[in-house]
A and B are shown apart, each in its own frame.
Chain A
Amino acid sequence: GESVGLHLPTLSVQEGDNSIINCAYSNSASDYFIWYKQESGKGPQFIIDIRSNMDKRQGQRVTVLLNKTVKHLSLQIAATQPGDSAVYFCATLRGAGSYQLTFGKGTKLSVIP
């Protein structure tokens, strides 16, 4: 069945270091992928997205890499800051023509000052 999972449930990094959060997906029909940041007690906040016709997309301090061959998605955060501490979820559309998202389990990122 369809699933979106994460390799690591928790990640601790030193302030200033780069963070890499990984995600595996199983639905080969997925053509749109999103990373969300969720702070405690708040709704998810959009970080960056990527379509299946791309393998890399960069934003401000964030980069998303997509490897369709192995169905793997990663989020890289450069120069991690204390404000980056949150739970990060990857999500994917269920399939072509679907607007419904399936969320991964989440990775809690803790930034050590």
Chain B
Amino acid sequence: GAVVSQHPSWVICKSGTSVKIECRSLDFQATTMFWYRQFPKQSLMLMATSNEGSKATYEQGVEKDKFLINHASLTLSTLTVTSAHPEDSSFYICSAFSGANSYEQYFGPGTRLTVT
């Protein structure tokens, strides 16, 4: 089956620093990748939609200059949290969509970010 990986699985950083999270589709090409944020005991909230070779589309209320998304290839998208603050601490999850006769998105295992 389709596998999506994320790296790192968890990261602790100091306030004011930047953190990059990678999302890779391992055995298929993803025309579109999605980034979600999930706070404890809450649902997944879509942050942005990332299409290979074009600028990401951000959801209302998500700062595009703070959450930089790059989708340079059909198998890799990165999310960089710039100038992280404690309120950015969350579980970040990506998903990948192949667009091949299915609406199914394949989710990564998530990255736990803690900003101290």
Contact = CB atoms under 8 A, between A and B. Distances in A.
Interface stretch (B42-50, B62-70, B71-79, B81-89): B42-50
> Main SS of the interface on chain B?
strand
B110 A100 contact: no
Interface in B72-116: 91, 93, 95, 97, 99, 103-110, 112
Nearest to A90: B43
B103 A105 contact: no
A61 interface: no
Given A41-B112, A100-B34, A89 B44 contact: yes
A99 B97 CA distance: 8
B25 interface: no
Contacts of B6: 43
A89 B46 CA distance: 14
A15 B67 CA distance: 43
Interface string A72-113: 000000000000000001000100000111111110000000
A89 B110 contact: no
B103 A32 contact: yes
> Main SS of the interface on chain A?
strand
A49 B104 contact: yes
A99 B103 contact: yes
Nearest to B45: A103
Contacts of B43: 89, 103-106
Interface string B5-46: 010000000000000000000000000101000000011111
A42 B109 contact: yes
Given A41-B112, A49-B104, A99-B49, 10 more contacts: A42-B110, A43-B6, A43-B95, A43-B108, A46-B107, A93-B103, A99-B99, A100-B49, A101-B105, A102-B46
Interface of B: 4, 6, 32, 34, 42-46, 49, 91, 93, 95, 97, 99, 103-110, 112
13 contacts: A36-B107, A43-B4, A43-B95, A43-B109, A43-B110, A44-B93, A45-B107, A49-B104, A99-B32, A99-B103, A100-B34, A103-B45, A105-B42
